[in-house]
Amino acid sequence: MDRTLRAVISAVASFVVVSVILTSVLLVCRVRSKRRRRRSTQGGGGGVNLHLARTVTGLSSGDSSRYYPALSRVSMQELISATGNFSPDLVIGDGSFGLVYKARLQSGSAVAVKKLSPDAFHGRREFRAEMETLGRIDHRNIVKILGYCASGRDRILIYELIERGSLDQWLHENGSSRPPLPWNTRTKIIKGVATGLSFMHSLETPIIHRDIKPGNVLLDAAFEPHIADFGLARQLYGSRSSFSMTQVAGTMGYMPPEYLQGITVATAMGDVYSFGMLILEIVTGRRPSNPFSIEDGTETMLIDWITAMDKQGRYVEMLDPYISIDDDLKEGVVMEMFRLGLKCADERSKARPSMNDVVDELDRILT
């Protein structure tokens, strides 16, 4: 073999050896890098799959002033710890697409933490809807969002904690810790919810809620109502007063008939209908979705019963029996409250008043 051939073979062999060594080094580095990333994203335990550790953030720098300063560095790990690894013992509510937990952060702040279900239908869309909506709302009758945390499929919302829980509990779970609500408190709640809805519907880009019900009305220490759970909220863009929806949204008993009849366009009038049913539930103490027996032994639904009693002028008889009949209760006010509820819950959407008109009407009735 001549010298030239040996030189060529030696050069090729050297190239192959060097290539193998470099490839091996790159593979080792890549595997180690993957292991480091995997270790850095694991943690939290308790079956919570954390793919990415992020601190609580705001929607944008323009909205950051709305968030509680103590939450600026809250991590997913702290939220897991503050909720006892999302313990069932700390559940204080069941909102759309997720449970709500009471939590106390390391700063000492008590907050409400909502963990969205990763398997919920359109769960990601619900998360974005709540962030886009709540991030720009500032009103005394709307629950304030303090921050959020996103990690892989896990999405956590952090709200202000409203002390007294939901209106649903106060209407239907009376006991030593929840005495029956007096008439004046009930009308205060009705007025506050109306004011909050009117505010949402009057924004430059209006917002509808689509799931107004007692379970989504929270009461603070002074029994001021705060509308909660914007998981089903949608914005009405530009001058449009409606938008298309691909599925029925809301809760049976509070959904307007047009939604149940296959109409795929949601409007602010849908909220008005739900609010009307809310009024009737607050003053009677009866759920609109539960049938009950009347005097002749037949079963009826709340809206049908009230419509019939309205024609007979029997308003005081329909009041929640837990409401004390005293000097503060004026029969004329009771009548007008029932009639306002019926007007809002009219089957014909075009016959319903706007929430601005409802607030004006309540001002007249309650002054």
pLDDT greater at residue 366 or residue 106: 366
Q: Which token pair is 138? A: 């500032």
Q: Clarify whether residues 172 and 153 are in a common domain.
A: no
Q: Clarify whether residues 192 and 270 are in a common domain.
A: yes
Task: Tell me the average pLDDT across 42-50.
Answer: 32
Please give the pLDDT value at position 106.
Answer: 86
In a domain, 77, yes or no: yes
Residues 53 and 80: beta-carbon distance below 8 Å = no
d(CA 111, CA 214): 21
pLDDT digits (tens, 9 = 90+) for 308-317: 999 999 999 9
pTM over 0.95: no
pLDDT confidence band for 93 (50 / 70 / 90): confident
Residues 54 and 151: beta-carbon distance below 8 Å = yes
Task: Tell me the average pLDDT across 330-354.
Answer: 97
* Segment among 144-148, 301-305, 326-330, 350-354 with least mean pLDDT: 326-330
Please give the pLDDT value at position 215.
Answer: 92
Q: Clarify whether residues 146 and 205 are in a common domain.
A: no
Q: Clarify whether residues 108 and 173 are in a common domain.
A: no
Domain with residue 261: its CATH number is 1.10.510.10
In a domain, 42, yes or no: no
Determine which one of 211, 304, 328, 346 is catalytic: 211
pLDDT digits (tens, 9 = 90+) for 219-255: 999 999 999 987 666 656 555 566 555 555 678 999 9
Proportion of the chain above pLDDT 90, given as a percent:
47
In a domain, 67, yes or no: yes
Domain boundary among 98, 126, 160: 160
- Residue 28 pLDDT greater than 70, yes or no: no
355-366 vs 268-284: helix crossing angle, rounded to 10: 30
Q: Clarify whether residues 117 and 244 are in a common domain.
A: no
Range of the domain at 240: 167-366
Q: Clarify whether residues 203 and 317 are in a common domain.
A: yes
Say how many domains are in the chain: 2
Q: Clarify whether residues 176 and 275 are in a common domain.
A: yes
211 is catalytic: yes
Domain boundary among 160, 176, 207: 160
Q: Closest Cα partner for 96 from 234, 189, 194, 205?
A: 234
In a domain, 223, yes or no: yes
Ranges assigned E (strand) in 26-97: 91-95
Please give the pLDDT value at position 301.
Answer: 96
Q: Which residues are annotated as a binding site for ATP?
A: 115
pLDDT greater at residue 121 or residue 233: 233
Q: Clarify whether residues 244 and 360 are in a common domain.
A: yes
Q: Clarify whether residues 296 and 243 are in a common domain.
A: yes
- Residue 90 pLDDT greater than 80, yes or no: yes
In a domain, 240, yes or no: yes
- Runs of H (alpha helix) within 110-182: 123-134, 167-172
d(CA 290, CA 87): 31
In the numeric block, the tokens 């308003």 are attached to: 315
Q: Which residues are annotated as a binding site?
A: 115
pLDDT confidence band for 63 (50 / 70 / 90): very low
In a domain, 136, yes or no: yes
Please give the pLDDT value at position 143.
Answer: 92
Q: Clarify whether residues 83 and 190 are in a common domain.
A: no
In the numeric block, the tokens 């005097």 are attached to: 295
Domain with residue 101: its CATH number is 3.30.200.20
- Residue 159 pLDDT greater than 50, yes or no: yes
Please give the pLDDT value at position 327.
Answer: 58
Q: Clarify whether residues 322 and 286 are in a common domain.
A: yes
Please give the pLDDT value at position 149.
Answer: 80
d(CA 300, CA 67): 47
In a domain, 22, yes or no: no
Q: Clarify whether residues 134 and 212 are in a common domain.
A: no
- Please count the residues of the chain: 367
Domain boundary among 101, 133, 160: 160
In a domain, 18, yes or no: no
The HSE-up count of residue 274 (CA atoms within 13 Å, CB side) is: 27
Proportion of the chain above pLDDT 70, given as a percent:
69
